């Protein structure tokens, strides 16, 4: 196979541990802020909440403490350990979001009034500011409110325009909080988060499989599942519908992912066949055991002359999940992995053909690389070229894999 070898030195990570400081004001729509928090978290964003005192009459701060696992700030002096809390909050923000924002808070921000924790935090931050207003239709259309919105737009504030419909007060018109999806999309856009996988279904396999010998022993490998889980998190952040088929690992399920837990290669095959039917991209990151005992014992095997089976276990091959599904890929993209100890690129090129894959991600095993680590150094091998990637975190690698996978869909 004739391929060109290139070096890929710059990869993008759409969510490099970004923080959104969410300001919630006293409005009936405050309950929707919980949905905003969850949606941002699913995209991999950290959220810190600041509430006005009036907002706490609509939703208790405990709700947001439970959702964010962070303290919820309300008063200027409610954190004795941080006497200038508004400054530290302002500095943490990569984006400041006010949702819902009342007419009162809108007027404060427009005129530089800082008389509570939220308004002082807004005034102190240098992060992009996004405002999603919510109020009565007549308040929203009042010339004072329109003037304040115009002033803020001139100063570069981003608005998610209020929607039209039936309002809590009984009136009908413009003033209801914008759809949560629109608010979240605007926020992620300001954070630089790509949503290029929206509408795509991605199936990912991850982790090892375990093949039982008897009730207490099994055959497995060193896979930690970290790469597959990182890909799943990155795919959700970029808008994909993700099914993650996982062997036994000690990792927390990513937010927003449909999880399927399996033990053996046979179980993984069944789950992968089902998920692959509706997938646009299949990423086979699992380290499936190549062999399994021909028959698992129903009791613990003993060493010694009375039971020789422990030292003479008959092994048979497991199904090759990548090869079987790769052969049926049609218009779907298939990405496989090759963890090798020698002749890494040669073996990856052979695997690319035999597994009917669009790309093989090859890496050298050993010397602190691959299994169980938080970073890796790999090559992207396809029929046109070999791209050498520098050592990077598995979170960055996940995004590089997804970006490359999209090229095969176009």
Catalytic residue IDs = 169
130 burial class (0-12, 13-18, 19+ CB within 10 angstroms)? buried
Q: What span, in angstroms and rounded, lies between the C-alpha atoms of 410 and 406?
A: 7
In the numeric block, the tokens 């129903």 are attached to 298
Kindly list the strands in the beta sheet with 46-51, ordered across the sheet, starting from the edge strand earlier in the chain.
46-51, 19-24, 95-101, 129-133, 158-159
Burial-class residue 97 by CB neighbours within 10 Å (0-12, 13-18, 19+): buried
What is the DSSP code string of 360-380? EEEEE-BTTBSTT-SEE-EEE
What is the gyration radius of the CA atoms in the chain, in angstroms? Answer: 26
Write out the two tokens for 25: 């004001």
Contact 45, 17 (CB under 8 A): no
**Distance from C-alpha of 42 to C-alpha of 45, rounded to nearest angstrom:** 7
Nearest partner of 174 among 200, 135, 124, judged by Cα: 135
DSSP secondary structure, 141-161, as one string: HSHHHHHHHHHHHHTT-EE-P
- Torsion over CA of 395, 399, 402 and 403, rounded to 10 degrees? -160
Tokens 């020698």 identify what position? 342
Closest to 335 measured CA to CA, from 271, 403, 394: 403
Residue 263's closest CA among 206, 209, 320, 225? 209
Beta carbons within 10 angstroms of residue 177's beta carbon? 25
């Amino acid at each position: 196979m004739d391929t060109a070898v290139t070096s890929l030195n710059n990869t993008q990570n759409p969510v490099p541990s970004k923080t959104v400081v969410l300001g919630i004001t006293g409005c009936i729509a405050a309950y929707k802020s919980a949905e905003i928090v969850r949606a941002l978290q699913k995209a991999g964003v950290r959220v810190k909440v600041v509430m006005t005192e009036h907002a706490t009459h609509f939703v208790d701060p405990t709700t947001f403490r439970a959702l964010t696992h962070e303290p919820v700030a309300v008063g200027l002096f409610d954190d004795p350990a941080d006497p200038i809390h508004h400054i530290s909050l302002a500095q943490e923000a990569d984006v400041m979001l006010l949702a819902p924002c009342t007419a009162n808070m809108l007027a404060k921000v427009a005129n530089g009034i800082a008389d509570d924790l939220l308004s002082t935090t807004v005034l102190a931050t240098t992060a992009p500011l996004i405002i999603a207003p919510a109020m009565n239709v007549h308040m929203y259309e009042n010339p004072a409110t329109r003037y304040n919105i115009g002033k803020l737009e001139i100063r570069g504030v981003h608005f998610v325009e209020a929607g039209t419909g039936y309002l809590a007060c009984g009136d009908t018109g413009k003033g209801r909080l914008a759809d949560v999806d629109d608010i979240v999309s605007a926020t992620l856009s300001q954070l630089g988060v790509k949503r290029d996988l929206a509408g795509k279904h991605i199936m990912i396999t991850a982790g090892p499989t375990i093949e039982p010998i008897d009730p207490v022993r099994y055959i497995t490998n060193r896979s930690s599942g970290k790469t597959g889980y990182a890909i799943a998190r990155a795919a959700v952040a970029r808008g994909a519908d993700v099914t993650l088929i996982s062997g036994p690992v000690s990792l927390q399920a990513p937010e927003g992912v449909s999880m399927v837990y399996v033990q053996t290669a046979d179980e993984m095959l069944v789950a992968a066949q089902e998920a692959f039917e509706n997938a646009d991209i299949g990423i086979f990151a699992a380290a499936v055991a190549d062999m399994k005992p021909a028959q698992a014992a129903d009791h613990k095997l003993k060493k010694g002359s009375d039971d020789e089976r422990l030292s003479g276990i008959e092994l048979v091959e497991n199904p090759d999940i990548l090869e079987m599904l790769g052969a049926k890929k049609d218009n779907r993209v298939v990405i496989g992995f090759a963890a090798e100890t020698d002749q890494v690129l040669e073996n990856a090129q052979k695997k690319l053909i035999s597994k009917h894959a669009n790309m093989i991600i090859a890496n050298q095993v050993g010397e602190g690389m691959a299994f169980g680590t938080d970073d890796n150094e790999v090559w992207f091998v396809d029929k046109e070229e070999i791209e050498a990637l520098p050592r990077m975190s598995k979170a960055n690698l996940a995004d590089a894999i997804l970006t490359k996978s999209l090229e095969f869909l176009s």
